[in-house]
Structure 1
Amino acid sequence: MDDQNSSTSGDSTKRFSAKRKLAAVQRLVRGQSLEAVSRNLNVPFHQVSEWRDKVLLGAESALRERGRDARDDEIARLQAKVAEYCSAVHTPLRRSFTLSDYDISDERTSCVRKP
């Protein structure tokens, strides 16, 4: 008899997968009562209620997403342009400069490139 009680208490602490939680919430959406679902799953009704709230929050954020439009294409085009400019800035100079290219007449003056 003690073995049955311990297995029953083990079932009450059982973890549920996301699919199983979603299936429970879908039963609520279809009209089953919170008490009936929680009793059937042997889960406290506040836990099933939390699952329902999480599903509804997730659904709300999923519905907030907007579809692609012309702005997305323009953003992609501009991002490509910025990447092109950045790669141009980071490419090495085609010609390396030497000190003979500059007029260094006095220590106190700055270097000026010869015309």
Structure 2
Amino acid sequence: MAKAGPEGQPNGSRWSASKKADVVVRLLRGESLDALSRELRVEAHRLQAWRDEFLAGGVEGLKARPLQPEDRRFRDAERKIGELTMDNEILRAAARKRGLQIPPRKRPR
């Protein structure tokens, strides 16, 4: 399958970490891997790799160069926040489907 860049960019263009993260969020929210692969013209295995890299290192994990070892703790915290955020999104969506009232999110001061 030919690789295409985001928003109609020509073949061979690179995906930014931000664009990859947008795709990963769509996957984590339940969109079909095969459907996204066809829509974006990106191989399914590449999308799976982006998802795995995102879960392991957040948006930083999707960047071309790896983090320095001293950034590991920060990366791990970002990863955990990302996982918890996605868990919350999934739970909120499931609750809404069942007609449950979701209290508004509290914002820290």
> Could you state the TM-score of these two structures normalised by the residue count of structure 1?
0.42
- Give the number of the structure whose alpha-carbon radius of gyration is greater: 1
Higher relative contact order (CA 8 A, sep 6+): 2
> Could you state the TM-score of these two structures normalised by the residue count of structure 2?
0.45
